Amino acid sequence: MSDAFVQLSDVTLMYGKSVAVPDLNLSIREGELICLLGPSGCGKTTTMRAIAGLLDPASGSIHIDGRDVTRVPANKRGIGLVFQSYALFPHLNAFENVAFGLRLQKLPEAEIRERTEAGLATVGLKGYDKRKPAEMSGGQQQRLALARSLVMKPKVLLLDEPLSNLDARLRLEMRTELQRVQKETGVTMVFVTHDQAEALALADRIVLMKEGKIEQLGTPADLYARPETAFAAEFMGFENIFRVEGSKVVTDSGTLELGFAPASPLLAWRPDGVSVGSGPHQGRVLATSFAGAHREYVLDTPLGPVKADAAIELPEVAIGETLAFDLPEATARPLSA
């Protein structure tokens, strides 16, 4: 707790009479890049708006850098926010967009010029000063929005799904760009996404949210290897999740003997954790597809469909034929209910 740079304590956020985020506790360390991850409508944007001061908590408090900012208005918090839509000012050119906040501080013209140009250079937009936002590509606009926030030297920089409007290649490029900027400036970043791959790639820590609550919080490696709930496991790619009864796994369609007796009420396997080619169980191949380094199968089993990845060296098994498989103890992830 003592190392918390941003601290949300028992924060409840409401829209009118409906609660969007109940009793949230979250601490963010200085200089870290934290990802808010979760499905649409889980309260990521809402949480971020509360940190920025655009939404007043119904109860609870928010501290930033040791200071209670719960009642501090948004324009006095010193927080940057890059909107999903970028929210660039269409009537101003790139230079003036970036200089906007500096001008409000009534800084000397020379300093404004210097910092704005440096800001544009940081995001690789040198020479674009005269362009209006409408004359820039999606990626350039996104970088412009980033520069506009960065030049203000915010204590915390919030980014609301800034990459979701970009195509796949640009998205990858911007990911590395963001990481570089973060390392360079050391700014504390809160990054919102509902793309788990993006969160895993970028974050120092991931906050997995569900219906306004934190489902699990941890490093990417942590979350990836050790999800604690079915929800988290599903998000992290555990596509086979089954109920446990004694030494059996159970679904509505049937049961399967495991050969060991787990202590947890649920067990989960990634497709690559299911071993195929040999094993005590038989499944009929429902679908198969080539995925480069491995081959993906969907097997019809007593449990219903099971997803399994087979090493590419194994001969392909055609749809309709049977394939032996096992749900090994070694790759099983125990989950709480």
Residues near other proteins, by CB under 8 A: 16, 52-55, 73-75, 77, 79-81, 83, 85, 87-91, 100-101, 104-105, 148-149, 152
Q: Output 84 or 331, the one with its CB closest to Mg ion.
A: 84
Q: Do 33 and 182 touch, CB atoms closer than 8 A?
A: yes
CA distance 34 to 235: 17
Q: Which stretch binds ligand ATP (CB under 6 A): 34-42, 85-93, 147-155, 173-181?
A: 34-42
Q: Which stretch binds ligand ATP (CB under 6 A): 43-51, 101-109, 111-119, 258-266?
A: 43-51
Residue 85 contact partner, candidates Mg ion, ligand ATP, other proteins, none, CB within 5 to 8 A by sort of partner: other proteins
**Shortest CB 87 distance to other proteins, Å:** 4
Q: Output 20 or 150, the one with its CB closest to ligand ATP.
A: 20
CA distance 145 to 211: 29
Residue 45 in the binding site for Mg ion (CB under 5 A): yes
CA distance 165 to 139: 9
**Shortest CB 91 distance to other proteins, Å:** 4
Sorted by sequence, the CB contacts under 8 Å of residue 95 that are 6+ apart come out as: 116, 120, 129, 130
- Identify the residue among 6, 9, 26, 46 touching ligand ATP (CB under 6 A): 46
Q: Which two tokens stand for residue 30?
A: 């200085």
Q: Which stretch binds ligand ATP (CB under 6 A): 40-48, 135-143, 177-185, 234-242?
A: 40-48
Render 276-319 in DSSP notation, one character per residue: EEEEEEEEEEEEEEE-SSEEEEEEEETTEEEEEEEETTSPP--T
Residue 40 contact partner, candidates other proteins, ligand ATP, Mg ion, none, CB within 5 to 8 A by sort of partner: ligand ATP
**Shortest CB 43 distance to Mg ion, Å:** 9
**Shortest CB 62 distance to ligand ATP, Å:** 16
Q: Output 190 or 276, the one with its CB closest to ligand ATP.
A: 190
Render 249-262 in DSSP notation, one character per residue: EE-SS-EEE-SS--
Question: Could you count the other beta carbons within 10 Å of the beta carbon of residue 261?
Answer: 11
Residue 146 contact partner, candidates Mg ion, other proteins, ligand ATP, none, CB within 5 to 8 A by sort of partner: none
Q: Which two tokens stand for residue 219?
A: 């490093």
**Shortest CB 112 distance to ligand ATP, Å:** 34
**Shortest CB 47 distance to ligand ATP, Å:** 7
Q: Output 90 or 292, the one with its CB closest to other proteins.
A: 90
Q: Do 307 and 240 touch, CB atoms closer than 8 A?
A: yes
Sheet-wide strand order for 248-250: 255-257, 248-250, 240-245, 266-269, 333-335
CA distance 8 to 101: 26
**Shortest CB 39 distance to Mg ion, Å:** 11
Residue 47 in the binding site for Mg ion (CB under 5 A): no
Q: Do 115 and 102 touch, CB atoms closer than 8 A?
A: yes
Q: Please report where in the chains the tokens 């500096």 appear, as a residue.
A: 102
**Shortest CB 58 distance to other proteins, Å:** 11
Residues that bind Mg ion (CB under 5 A): 45
Residues that bind ligand ATP (CB under 6 A): 15, 20, 38, 40-46, 194
